[in-house]
Every structure is written in structure tokens, then in C-alpha cells.
Amino acid sequence: MNSPIWNESFSVGHPVLDGQHKELLALCQQAADCVEDVSLEGAEHFHMLLNDLAVYAKKHFRTEEKILSQHSYPLLNEQKTEHEEYEVWLSETLLAAMDGNSDKADVHQFLSAWWVRHILESDMRYREFLSGINRKY
Ligand SMILES: [Fe+2]
């Protein structure tokens, strides 16, 4: 199954945040790889990856919010709201997966689309802002 792969067009101009985005898309890729695996191991692996994505996403959001808040980014609240909505959705998805009520392909589709939108739309808004800050030092 296709999954988005990080490339330079995804760069937000910050090495730490770019590194985390790469890692998140790599986790989506791993989830895509087990969508077609209908074995019990495939289901367990998928569930494990959702857990990893929840943990890693939380780490990424806190890093992003810390950096943006340090520089008084004007759209920080919108960014935080989006992060919170994702965390709620992901924990609900994890619960559904535990009950065996989730379609792996649908979950993967939503996940990869969410991360692409997060990086290319929401995060790209601070790319210019952060590059202006860096030029001041
Ligand atoms: Fe991000």
C-alpha cells in the first residue's frame, strides 16, 4: 500500500522538526506495510504501530509547541487545537483497534493524509516565521 515518503518539499526549515516529521511518515509507511497482512501477527503489529505513533506524535507536538511558544508564534493556539484533536482521534482509534473494530486500510489512509496535511499546510505556515527568527541571530 502506498504511503507518503518525506522529501525536501516537506521541509519546514528546522532540522529537529524535519527529523520528527520523517520519523512519523516512516511509522505511517510501516503501518501501510502491514495493512495487507491479515494474520493475527499483522493485526498486533498494526496495533503496536498505532501505539508508537501516539507516543511519537505526542513527543513531536510538545517539541513543536515549545519551539513555537519560545518565539511567540502568533498561530500557536490553532496549532495546539489541531494537535489536541489528533490526540483524541488517535486514542479513540487505538481503543477501536483493541476491540478489533477498525479497518486497517481506512486507518492508514486517514493517518497518512492527516500527517501530510499537518506538515504541508499547518506546519508550512511557521516555516517563513521561523526562518525570519533565525535571520535575526
Ligand atoms: Fe509538525
Task: Please check whether residue 48 is in contact with residue 59, taking contact to mean a CB–CB distance below 8 angstroms.
Answer: no
Q: Rounded distance, CA 20 to CA 24, Å?
A: 6
Q: Convert the pLDDT of each residue in 41-86 to its tens digit.
A: 988 899 999 999 999 999 999 999 999 999 999 999 999 999 999 9
Mean pLDDT over the full length of the chain:
91
Residue 93 and residue 18: Cα distance in Å, rounded? 26
Tell me if 75 is assigned to some domain. yes
Domain that holds residue 74: 41-136
Report if residue 95 sits inside a domain.
Answer: yes
Q: How far is the CA of 38 from the centre of ligand 1 (A)?
A: 31
Query: pLDDT at position 88, please?
Result: 93
pLDDT at res. 135: 59
In a domain, residue 25? The reply is no
d(CA 53, CA 40): 20
Examine residue 31 and state whether it is found in any structural domain, yes or no. no
Among the listed residues 29, 23, 17, 6, the one whose alpha carbon sits nearest the alpha carbon of residue 111? 29
Q: What CATH number is associated with residue 99?
A: 1.20.120.50
Distance 110 CA to ligand 1 centre (A): 16
In angstroms, what is the span from residue 37 Cα to ligand 1's centroid? 29
Domain count, the chain: 1
DSSP conformation class of 41: H
Give domain status of residue 101, yes or no.
yes
pTM of structure: 0.91
- Ligand 1 centroid to Cα of residue 46, in Å, is 22
CA separation for the pair 56, 134 (Å, rounded) = 26
In a domain, 97, yes or no: yes
